[in-house]
Structure 1
């Protein structure tokens, strides 16, 4: 069950990142690498890339992910 929740969360985050900043950005690439590998190092790199985004962009991604989550349920 936990893995399925994690997969859904990553899918929402990945879609939100792509929708807000694009597929070809550093964060999108790092996130996809982390999702595909499951490596804790890749996850840390994706987190660092996310934290490198400005606050406004992180808020946009968060808001978009929350709206997407609302449509899933």
Structure 2
């Protein structure tokens, strides 16, 4: 069992690893993906935060 490098939550099984080697839990991974997607598509920091929240809510509603 490891701890998420972002929030410190215990992760059972495999953690998601970023390019820089950070290990993230599912929730932090979802926020990371949303933020990265927005920044790569040309959005600013505000858009990135909004996109991360949107993706997190969508995944929660879909049960993933």
Q: Greater helix percent: which structure? A: 1
**Smaller-chain TM-score range?**
0.3 to 0.5
Using the size of structure 2 for normalisation, the TM-score is 0.43
Higher RCO by CA contacts (8 Å cutoff, separation 6 or greater): 1
Q: TM-score, normalised by structure 1?
A: 0.39
